[in-house]
Amino acid sequence: MHTVTVAALFSGEVRVGSPVTVKGWVRTRRTSKAGISFVALHDGSCFEPIQLVVPETLENYATEVTGLGAGCAIIASGELVESEGQGQTVEVRADRIEVVGWVDDPESYPIAKKRHTFEYLRTQAHLRPRTNAFGAITRLRNTLANAIHNYFHDRGFYWVNTPIITASDCEGAGELFRVSALDMHNLPRDDKGQLDYSQDFFGAESFLTVSGQLNLEAYCLAMSKVYTFGPTFRAENSHTSRHLAEFWMVEPEIAFADLEDNAALAEDFLKHCFRTVLEQRQDDMAFFAQRVDKQAITRLEQVIDAEFVHLDYGEAIRILDNCGQKFEFPVTWGADLASEHERYLSEQHVKGPVVVKNYPKDIKAFYMRLNDDGNTVAAMDVLMPGIGEIIGGSQREERLEVLDGRMTAPGLADELWWYRDLRRYGTVPHAGFGLGFERLLNYISGMENIRDAIPYPRTPGNAAF
Amino acid sequence: MHTVTVAALFSGEVRVGSPVTVKGWVRTRRTSKAGISFVALHDGSCFEPIQLVVPETLENYATEVTGLGAGCAIIASGELVESEGQGQTVEVRADRIEVVGWVDDPESYPIAKKRHTFEYLRTQAHLRPRTNAFGAITRLRNTLANAIHNYFHDRGFYWVNTPIITASDCEGAGELFRVSALDMHNLPRDDKGQLDYSQDFFGAESFLTVSGQLNLEAYCLAMSKVYTFGPTFRAENSHTSRHLAEFWMVEPEIAFADLEDNAALAEDFLKHCFRTVLEQRQDDMAFFAQRVDKQAITRLEQVIDAEFVHLDYGEAIRILDNCGQKFEFPVTWGADLASEHERYLSEQHVKGPVVVKNYPKDIKAFYMRLNDDGNTVAAMDVLMPGIGEIIGGSQREERLEVLDGRMTAPGLADELWWYRDLRRYGTVPHAGFGLGFERLLNYISGMENIRDAIPYPRTPGNAAF
């Protein structure tokens, strides 16, 4: 008897007529008066459950099979046969059902009912992967992560794990979480009564990283093509559906490269991701298109077919200024683009993906390369219809004297001595970008709340799990 | 002119006679009296640098080429030719050398000299990837990470990102780092004067995770085969060469599985990792065998060829008790095995990998499955010659009433309500293990200090980078 996954039964790799054993959880059970029970069994391997056709001749039919309900764990053996029912190609004619785990008090099973709100399911994160929607997002997340790693691996990039705990707090990318091993009830003080972080674990104030970029640049200037893909943190006390305190970020960094190379990489990378999920997760993407967002598949196909339009920031401002549309936030050269502006550009003006380049230097980070005009830096944002900015990146300032003119925040040059150092020893033009993994996942699935793209949703004020 | 990596030049994919452009950093330059300079150029893509043969006829020969030294960044164009020198198969006869980045004051270049101690290089983590050893470990780390992901992906496992920040502090796996967004200079107090964590970001005391296992079990009981591969943290104030405060851990978890399935997975997984690095990183493994540890390659080959020997903990104690060897720590039923015991078992007794199973329950965690004898649990450690324990795992206690008898630590059952809950709804036998990624990397490379297996070494008291 051959133990197989449900996915293998549907894939055609198991021949009809074969004896098979499948193991998983009951989604539904329906018992007909004709002495047959139909059990839908899922094991997480694919979207569709397999239908088990269970005859009353089984010795535990009356005692167990007809008592099965959602969530029960069983091992089923039988013959794989062509299905006579609608909607599935094959089913299993069961000759043995072993109940491995019952559901205590089925009335209280938190996900027993067919449809729940996503909000409710966030409070049941330990059980929600058994539902259709969260089984689908879990598989999609895995496929997307694998697509990302393989994209870079196949192109000779090295994955570098930049530090999660860092002493660097000057990048100004948002509020930081502090990390400490100090005894909070007995904090050490120096002779001025100030907190004495020299007695903390790493001998200095430490934080959770907001980006691996600066550390990654050092590896880029030795290995040429590198990327990080790891967790990053922002302590922004935001309850919006688009911000997470803990999220995964993808950051490639390429040497001997400029902003154009960077934009080309971003475009090629996104298309690769979209192609891969459409190919490998047809079942789950069909679910998202049917139940979550009708545009889920076509939106990705349109991006794959599109040539990304490039606009200078200055052009973008002129377009917004002259478009006749009323915006909540003013359109002025020197101000950052708001989400409404970004969406106008991609949804109304270009009707497709847009790369906006060369932003005013005063609204961008110190490490972005100063352009010859002296007013703008070689930054880029990739904007997509339906979501706005999905990628942010830049060419990095590789010239020490120019960098020094931009590293004027107090203490920054001392703290980042090693970052400056890189500009003294074989510096080269280099560029990279950052992409929020969960944000991309939501774009693909059409799920609205970014908390539904992570395995365990965390919100300010909610430390469950 | 075709820009290629150094790896592509050596792989045979570029035909001899082709015009090529390579970009990278100078490792050495030697100028002969015959009017030729030999420049060794590396770009991180493989261990060997490519030799550039640069004739004095180049217009910047005297002004630039003969001034090149370690660390300078250049773009070189020319013809790929068969090498007349020893030790390399091909070289580039350069007809153009463009210097992109000079080295300021070559005397001060921190890694200019040929050999440095690993200890010194830890202080130059931003530049050490340019050295032979750290280029090699960076590529090896990437190859190993990719082998791990692909091992699981190809076998239908889903990668689950378990939470990094967690409210769970009861697992007792070591000292925890605290995570907080509170103002340390103005800590909120409740009416008893106690610290009021309800005002912190997540509304409760929060920590960095020590393991994703408990969270992962929930996904296992929905998706059947899952794994985590992410950072974990221990605030152990240890200066040994075998402990890290921040390290990556691999944790698979399988449903409908027992301890034997778990041990078989661990054995197959390790062999896959070793086979992959020997196949894909021949160049770097040859370096480790030559310069770091003579056994680096043969050790892996022996594991690949070995059948892992299984021993019950009780048998292991009898063997150690009767072996005539003096140990520093006593050998008693009920005590954990010390490193010296583990190494004796694998190095002297079995002379190969050993799986020790079924440890006394009192020295193991509450979640490990109680055996029928009532005294031991279905735990396992995989021990390897030369390092001792490399994998620890167990079958998990899936029976609610037995689990409750083991979850006796104050507050534990309340905190882990959701973990208990899983045992009420379709619980099944399941098992998993954990493996420290850097520890495995050091085992493979033969590097002694685990800080040399991470991109940015962090030590207690040292918060650089």
Backbone Cα Rg of chain A: 27
Instruction: State pLDDT tens for residues B368-420.
Output: 999 999 999 999 999 999 899 999 999 999 999 999 999 998 888 998 999 99
* Phi and psi torsions of B450, nearest 5°: -65, -20
Q: Verify whether the Cβ–Cβ distance B248 to A161 is below 8 Å.
A: yes
Q: Verify whether the Cβ–Cβ distance A129 to B166 is below 8 Å.
A: no
Mean per-residue pLDDT of chain A: 94
In the structure, what pLDDT confidence band is assigned to residue B463 with cuts at 50, 70 and 90? Answer: low
Q: What percent of chain A clears pLDDT 90, i.e. is strictly above it? A: 85
Which range among A81-90, A99-108, A372-381, A428-437 shows the weakest confidence by mean pLDDT? A81-90
Chain B interface mutation, best of A39, A108, A158, highest count of B Cβ atoms under 10 Å: A158
B residues 99-138 lying closer than 8 A (beta carbon) to A: 100-105, 109-110, 125-127, 129-130, 135, 138
b (16+ CB within 10 A) / e for A317-332? bebbeeeeeeeeeebe
For residue A459, is pLDDT > 90?
Answer: no
Instruction: Say what the pLDDT of residue B112 is.
Output: 83
Instruction: Say what the pLDDT of residue B389 is.
Output: 95
Q: Tell whether A34 lies on the interface with B, counting CB pairs under 8 A.
A: no
Instruction: Name the nearest CA neighbour of A387 among A328, A435, A322.
Output: A435
Q: Tell whether B278 lies on the interface with A, counting CB pairs under 8 A.
A: no
Instruction: Name the nearest CA neighbour of B209 among A96, A160, A463, A211.
Output: A463
Residue reference for tokens 């640098």: B49
Instruction: State how far the Cα of B404 lies from the Cα of B387, in Å rounded to an integer.
Output: 36
The alpha-carbon gap from A364 to the nearest alpha carbon of chain B, in Å, equals 22
Instruction: Say what the pLDDT of residue A51 is.
Output: 97
Neighbouring residues of A184: CB distance < 8 A, sequence distance ≥ 6: B178, B187, B195
Enumerate helices (H) and strands (E) in chain B, giving the number of each.
13, 17
Instruction: Name the nearest CA neighbour of A150 among B147, B176, B181, B452.
Output: B147
Q: Verify whether the Cβ–Cβ distance B465 to A418 is below 8 Å.
A: yes
Instruction: Say what the pLDDT of residue B424 is.
Output: 97
Instruction: Say what the pLDDT of residue A347 is.
Output: 96
Q: How far is CA B170 from CA A131, B118, B174, B348, B367, in A?
A: 29, 37, 10, 37, 12
Instruction: Say what the pLDDT of residue A309 is.
Output: 98
Instruction: Please say whether the beta carbons of A78 and A58 come within 8 A.
Output: no
Q: Which amino acid is at B57?
A: T
Number of A to B CB contacts under 8 A, please give it.
Answer: 318
Instruction: State how far the Cα of A13 lies from the Cα of B149, in Å rounded to an integer.
Output: 23
The alpha-carbon gap from B109 to the nearest alpha carbon of chain A, in Å, equals 7
Specify which residues A226 forms β-bridges with.
A158, A253
Residues of chain A in contact with residue B110, where contact means CB-CB under 8 angstroms, are 421, 425
Q: Verify whether the Cβ–Cβ distance B159 to A179 is below 8 Å.
A: no
Of B201, B233, B462, the CB nearest to A203: B462
Instruction: Say what the pLDDT of residue B299 is.
Output: 95
Dihedral (CA of B286, B292, B294, B300) sign: negative
Give B16-68 as a DSSP string: TT-EEEEEEEEEEEEEETTTEEEEEEE-SSSSSPEEEEEETTSTTTTTTGGG-
**pLDDT (average), residues A195-210:** 91
For residue A417, is pLDDT > 60?
Answer: yes
**pLDDT (average), residues B254-261:** 98
Instruction: Name the nearest CA neighbour of B7 among A316, A155, A228, A461.
Output: A155
The alpha-carbon gap from B308 to the nearest alpha carbon of chain A, in Å, equals 25
Instruction: Name the nearest CA neighbour of A248 among A455, A44, A461.
Output: A455
Q: Which amino acid is at B370?
A: L
Domains plus CATH for chain B?
2-101 (2.40.50.140), 132-174+210-452 (3.30.930.10)
**pLDDT (average), residues B194-217:** 92
* Phi and psi torsions of A307, nearest 5°: -100, 125
**pLDDT (average), residues B27-46:** 97
Instruction: Please say whether the beta carbons of A361 and A313 come within 8 A.
Output: no
Q: Verify whether the Cβ–Cβ distance B125 to A181 is below 8 Å.
A: no
Of B135, B179, B418, the CB nearest to A465: B418
**pLDDT (average), residues B256-269:** 98
Residues of chain A in contact with residue B206, where contact means CB-CB under 8 angstroms, are 463
Q: How far is CA A301 from CA A28, A63, A264, A444, B67, in A?
A: 34, 51, 18, 11, 53
For residue A101, is pLDDT > 70?
Answer: yes
Widest distance between CA atoms in chain A: 86
* Complex-level ipTM beyond the 0.90 threshold: yes
Instruction: State pLDDT tens for residues B278-288.
Output: 999 999 999 99
The alpha-carbon gap from B342 to the nearest alpha carbon of chain A, in Å, equals 30
Residues of chain B in contact with residue A185, where contact means CB-CB under 8 angstroms, are 195
Neighbouring residues of B43: CB distance < 8 A, sequence distance ≥ 6: A223, A224, B5, B6, B22, B23, B24, B25
Instruction: Please say whether the beta carbons of A359 and A377 come within 8 A.
Output: yes
Q: Verify whether the Cβ–Cβ distance A463 to B167 is below 8 Å.
A: yes
For residue B173, is pLDDT > 60?
Answer: no
Q: Verify whether the Cβ–Cβ distance B44 to A222 is below 8 Å.
A: yes
Q: Tell whether B49 lies on the interface with A, counting CB pairs under 8 A.
A: no
In the structure, what pLDDT confidence band is assigned to residue B2 with cuts at 50, 70 and 90? Answer: confident
Instruction: Say what the pLDDT of residue B168 is.
Output: 79
Instruction: Say what the pLDDT of residue A377 is.
Output: 98
Specify which residues A403 forms β-bridges with.
none
B residues 306-335 lying closer than 8 A (beta carbon) to A: none
Instruction: Say what the pLDDT of residue A92 is.
Output: 98
Instruction: Say what the pLDDT of residue B193 is.
Output: 84
Q: Verify whether the Cβ–Cβ distance A201 to B71 is below 8 Å.
A: no
Structure tokens at A4: 């197989």
In the structure, what pLDDT confidence band is assigned to residue B143 with cuts at 50, 70 and 90? Answer: very high
B residues 363-422 lying closer than 8 A (beta carbon) to A: 398, 400, 418-419, 421-422
Better-predicted residue by pLDDT, A364 or A458: A364
Neighbouring residues of B87: CB distance < 8 A, sequence distance ≥ 6: none
B residues 212-251 lying closer than 8 A (beta carbon) to A: 215, 218-219, 221-225, 230-231, 233, 235, 237, 245-246, 248
For residue A170, is pLDDT > 90?
Answer: no
In the structure, what pLDDT confidence band is assigned to residue B115 with cuts at 50, 70 and 90? Answer: confident
Cα three-residue angle B361-B366-B369, rounded to 5 degrees: 65
Instruction: Say what the pLDDT of residue A193 is.
Output: 84
DSSP B345: I
> What ranges make up the beta strands (E) of B168-245?
178-180, 206-208, 225-233
B residues 149-168 lying closer than 8 A (beta carbon) to A: 149, 153, 156, 158-168
Instruction: Say what the pLDDT of residue B457 is.
Output: 87
Nearest CA in chain A to B456: A163
Instruction: Please say whether the beta carbons of A391 and B67 come within 8 A.
Output: no
Question: What SS3 class is residue A245?
Answer: coil
Structure tokens at A46: 């694919």
Of A153, A224, A246, the CB nearest to B146: A153
Residues of chain A in contact with residue B204, where contact means CB-CB under 8 angstroms, are 463
Instruction: Say what the pLDDT of residue B40 is.
Output: 97
Instruction: Say what the pLDDT of residue B33 is.
Output: 93
b (16+ CB within 10 A) / e for A37-70? bebbbbbbbbbbbbbbbbeeebeebeebbeebbb
Give chain A's length.
Answer: 465
Q: Verify whether the Cβ–Cβ distance B246 to A463 is below 8 Å.
A: no
In the structure, what pLDDT confidence band is assigned to residue A237 with cuts at 50, 70 and 90? Answer: confident
Backbone Cα Rg of chain B: 27
Nearest CA in chain B to A46: B223
Instruction: Say what the pLDDT of residue A173 is.
Output: 53
Mean per-residue pLDDT of chain B: 94
Q: Verify whether the Cβ–Cβ distance A424 to B463 is below 8 Å.
A: no
The alpha-carbon gap from A52 to the nearest alpha carbon of chain B, in Å, equals 18
